[in-house]
Chains A and B, each alone.
Chain A
């Protein structure tokens, strides 16, 4: 009986588009597909039965060279059928994994993806002959348009038990591949394409670096533009016109008291969504109306960068810088993902080969890479109308101050860690895929999965956070906590004792801290103190969700080390900033 189908293939062969095609809209659960390394899971109908289908991370061989490939190899163990997706324009290299797969006792169906592109490049493959030579079904497909997918499903239904081929040495596998290629493939010569020229331009340092800067700048500009537009025209109107009256009505129904404080607001009457600290106001508004719009925008742009194939080029361009930090160019990928949410960023560190590289990448991520929740909170703090009177300069000055500090920190801490952490830092070895036009539906699906994941993760923690803060308020513990930490905050950082509460709530969720911060009276923090708090909020600890994933990825011992580094960094940076910015 077929229960589980696993999609296997080299990276960048369009596996996720095939996955998207096969599963239709019914992807039940998924983590972060694409650049990250967790697998996606979905369901499809096969002979009237529902079977599970898994999109394993891309791998070049069954001898894994990093942890994401290990995940892929592990997926094999309980597969009933393997769909081996190949890039027809790179048949030779792709067949290596195929031969390895045929040495297992699992039926394999070969999907020759990018069939149209191969033809366009002048590559002709005799798929019937290939099927005979390998002894398995072979289906040419164009996942992007859906061509051949029906045939693929048909072939899945006709699979027969597979007898494992004899294990061969690398050398012998390549000899066999040589034979096969000579039998089935003919190549006509074609001239340089525009795409090749574009590829050259974006990878040569002289032109590539300015282009990279432009792309990064443009990406963030677009994210802000989309995010702001969504807030102004969609999320804010919704909350103000529809949600607020409902909340007010509920408030009237509840009347002033304990329940009102918990659910709606600390103060009876008017509702200020951000600082009310009610579960149904701040708890919903901050993650959904302030952070989510930017998350949507960010992940959409990220999918674009991923699916066009730009990220490996960026990794190439920054490789020598990242080498100084003990990683290699691929280290930019966790940073990019982490700017959305640190959790997938942590998972992406798996694609680095050694413990040292993963440790540095994970630690730097948690110290110096603000997630979208943090970023939007930093923007929210400094552009909050209530605080404008405290600011001597335009908000952007303070915002830049925070981000510059973080950027400098990324390099300084990375440089130091590289010197002191033992272990190897292997060199970069990365495929540079051809540029491709992204498949819009797959992109939307991927963005949607990530957004759903954000909502699923954010809301419970936000509720819990607001709930706990409320309890602390109600029993009067907040003031106690503030006065207890007063000497440390005041002595070390020249910050009011209330800062401890902001930092505490930031551990639960970074965006909760903005609510707590703004709930204090306007004069509590000066502008420069806000800069210090915003910076320390990013550095001192990741939020609890990231913390948990990091612990799983690094193990308890390394996590303890990382936590120590974070604390020391946060305290030192807080102290240095105090000296520079407050001048005392």
Chain B
């Protein structure tokens, strides 16, 4: 690892970062994986809903909304 790492939930908007680790059970891994969220993918945060609401993120051409809890289990690396 050469850049700084942070959790996806703390990733500032409009900054691209690479997923380096997904913590959490097999079930979560699989769920994220089937939508293409896995190690090595580049993601960016598009919006955050207030009051611990979900994050909308973009990976490639695909946007998705993911709960904060899940976003807390994903470590990303900023270039």
Q: Mark A100-114, 1 if CB is under 8 A from B, else 0.
A: 000000000000000
Q: A130 contacts the other chain (Cβ, under 8 Å)?
A: no
Q: How far is the CB of A344 from chain B (nearest CB, A)?
A: 23
Q: Which residues of A contact B52 (CB under 8 A)?
A: 320
Q: Which residues of A contact B29 (CB under 8 A)?
A: 170
Q: Mark A60-75, 1 if CB is under 8 A from B, else 0.
A: 1101010000000000
- Select which of B30, B38, B54 is within 8 A of A316 by beta carbon: B54
Q: Bound state CA distance, A63 and B33, in angstroms?
A: 12
* Chain A positions 424-441 with a Cβ under 8 Å from a chain B Cβ: 426-434
Q: B7 contacts the other chain (Cβ, under 8 Å)?
A: no
In the complex, are the beta carbons of A63 and B30 less than 8 A apart? yes
Q: Mark B37-79, 1 if CB is under 8 A from A, else 0.
A: 0100000001111111110100011111111111000000000
A174-B33, A429-B67 known; A90 vs B54 contact (CB < 8 Å): no
In the complex, are the beta carbons of B65 and A312 less than 8 A apart? yes
- Select which of B46, B47, B50, B69 is within 8 A of A427 by beta carbon: B69
In the complex, are the beta carbons of A429 and B68 less than 8 A apart? no
In the complex, are the beta carbons of A316 and B61 less than 8 A apart? no
Q: Which residues of B contact A315 (CB under 8 A)?
A: 65
| Chain B residues with a Cβ closer than 8 Å to the other chain, count | 30
In the complex, are the beta carbons of B49 and A93 less than 8 A apart? no
- Select which of B31, B38, B53 is within 8 A of A319 by beta carbon: B53
Q: Bound state CA distance, A433 and B58, in angstroms?
A: 11
In the complex, are the beta carbons of B36 and A93 less than 8 A apart? yes
Q: Which residues of B contact A415 (CB under 8 A)?
A: none
Q: A205 contacts the other chain (Cβ, under 8 Å)?
A: yes
In the complex, are the beta carbons of B67 and A203 less than 8 A apart? no
A199-B63, A428-B66, A430-B64 known; A320 vs B53 contact (CB < 8 Å): yes
Q: Which residues of A contact B32 (CB under 8 A)?
A: 429
Q: Bound state CA distance, A223 and B64, in angstroms?
A: 30
The interface of chain B, by Cβ under 8 A from chain A, is 29-36, 38, 46-54, 56, 60-70
User: Would you give 18 A-B contacts (Cβ < 8 Å), ordered by A?
Assistant: A60-B34, A61-B30, A92-B60, A93-B62, A200-B47, A316-B47, A316-B49, A316-B54, A320-B49, A320-B51, A320-B53, A320-B54, A323-B53, A328-B67, A427-B67, A430-B66, A431-B35, A432-B65
